[in-house]
Amino acid sequence: EDKVVQSPLSLVVHEGDTVTLNCSYEVTNFRSLLWYKQEKKAPTFLFMLTSSGIEKKSGRLSSILDKKELFSILNITATQTGDSAVYLCAVRTNAGKSTFGDGTTLTVKP
């Protein structure tokens, strides 16, 4: 059975702090790993990673994948209150199925 585990489950920081969110996985026929941000209802896409060691970056967010150790991290630098959300990690197989972790709830205090 495909499995995605995220840590920590929740995190509280102050504006300006840097955070690292973790995602480990066990899946057959791995295709890609995706990060999503869920603020209220619908998760929205952040990054897709398919190759080890190549960092994806978008503003203050960045992510990297290690296919040997089966994990990914999502970094957020200089956090802002608007970064408060649930961050979801999902692993997609060659067959097209996406399995999600339980997410990390990030709270950024002013």
Partner 1 sequence: GAGVSQTPSNKVTEKGKYVELRCDPISGHTALYWYRQSLGQGPEFLIYFQGTGAADDSGLPNDRFFAVRPEGSVSTLKIQRTERGDSAVYLCASSLQSRGQGVTGELFFGEGSRLTVL
Q: Which residues bind partner 1 (CB under 8 A)?
A: 4, 6, 31-32, 34, 36, 41-45, 48, 88, 90, 92, 94-103
Residue 79 backbone phi and psi in degrees, to 5: -55, 150
Q: Is 71 within 8 Å of 22 (Cβ atoms)? A: yes
Identify residue 56 by its one-letter amino acid code.
K
Min dist. Cβ of residue 100 to partner 1 (A): 4
CB closer to partner 1, 82 vs 95: 95
CB closer to partner 1, 20 vs 29: 29
CB closer to partner 1, 95 vs 110: 95
Lookup result for tokens 């969110």: 21
Helices (H) and strands (E) in the chain, counts: 0, 11
